[in-house]
Amino acid sequence: MEKRLIEKVIDEAKDGEANLVIWDRRDTFTVESDDVKEIETNDDHLRVTMQDGKAIVYIEYDYIYKLVVEKDRAVRAGVRTGFGAAGS
């Protein structure tokens, strides 16, 4: 997945104070809205600091195949904005 698209999704999650759900080749996990602010975009990977600094996750851009901004369900049920990448 392209770095600029990933940065756009991260910015949307930050602005909307939303969770970010990330799918990569190994796992799916949710970055809570408080931790979205701690995401760093590097040349070829994301660095995500979670759980008050107790966990740091590195995710290579090439392995990310789906990102979803998960907005607060109290506002509207099931509101999600997703961005996916198809490999060739």
Domain count, the chain: 1
Residue 1 pLDDT: 82
The tens digit of pLDDT for each residue in 26-85 reads 899 899 999 999 999 999 999 999 888 899 999 999 999 999 999 875 545 555 556 566
With CA atoms as reference, report the closest residue to 17 among 57, 58, 70: 70
Instruction: Give the per-residue pLDDT at 29.
Output: 86
Phi, psi of 6 (to 5 degrees): -60, -45
The CATH number of residue 47's host domain is 2.30.30.100
* pTM (predicted TM-score): 0.76
pLDDT over 90 (residue 14): yes
Write out the residue range of the structural domain in which residue 19 sits: 3-84
Amino acid at 10: I
